[in-house]
Amino acid sequence: MQELVGPQFQALADALAGQPPTAPSLCAGWEVRHVVAHMTMAARYDGPAFMAELAAVGHDFDALSERVARRDGDLPFASLLADLRSDTMARWAPPGGGAAGALSHVVIHGLDITAALGLPRAASDEATRLVLDELADGKHFGVDTGGQRLRATDLDWEYGDGVLVEAPAGDLVLKLSGRR
């Protein structure tokens, strides 16, 4: 999975080139630039710097995410796009989440941006399928998938039994990650 992470960050950066950084995203209260700043924290903060930032907010990761997204979202958008393309992000894996967590991070947050902008999904079919497989049981975001047979209309993926719910794969990722 890790070899898929870098190309997804790259594809997202390519899709965002020329897009308005101040456009709203699907993340409540965050513009595109805030989501990209959040996604790329690892490119700007090594382990000790990250831990210092986390300590400064009482080890509250949500507060850290908000603080960094707001502050670093003011960086030049070209710099944030360069962070998306960086070798650091291509190799990055969140503690406890590994390669699957990194792939989910870029695919889901990429959709938070591209769906809000009306752009096609930037993630590859293979990456999207793997993320759908990770999310399908509903345990990650507390989404109840019981009684539903989910089927992607734009790639070969299906999960579950019950009432058929068909949608593009990106929409299914957003549904399974609790987005509305």
How far apart, in Å, do the first and last CA atoms of the chain sit?
Answer: 27
Residue 111, φ and ψ in degrees, nearest 5: -70, -35
Q: What is the pLDDT of residue 64?
A: 95
In this prediction, residues 92-99 reach a mean pLDDT of 91
Is residue 111 a contact partner of residue 170, using CB atoms and an 8 Å limit? yes
- Residues 89-124 as b/e (b if ≥16 CB within 10 A, e otherwise) read bbebbeeeeebbbbbbbbbbbbbbbbbbbeeebbbe
Q: What mean pLDDT, rounded, does the chain reach?
A: 95
Is residue 140 a contact partner of residue 148, using CB atoms and an 8 Å limit? no
Judged by average pLDDT, the poorest of 11-15, 30-34, 175-179 is 175-179
Residue carrying the six token digits 């890790």: 2
In this prediction, residues 61-69 reach a mean pLDDT of 95
In this prediction, residues 78-83 reach a mean pLDDT of 98
Single pTM value for the model:
0.93
The confidence band for 95, taking pLDDT boundaries of 50, 70 and 90, is: confident
pLDDT of 157 > 90? The answer is yes
- Work out the angle between the directed axes of helices 98-117 and 125-135 (0-180°, nearest 10): 110
Is residue 111 a contact partner of residue 174, using CB atoms and an 8 Å limit? yes
pLDDT of 102 > 80? The answer is yes
The whole-angstrom separation of Cα 50 and Cα 55 is: 9
The secondary structure of residue 24, as a DSSP letter, is: B
Quote the tokens at residue 42: 């690892």
Q: What is the pLDDT of residue 103?
A: 97
The confidence band for 29, taking pLDDT boundaries of 50, 70 and 90, is: very high
| Nearest Cα residue to 13 out of 30, 31, 35 | 35
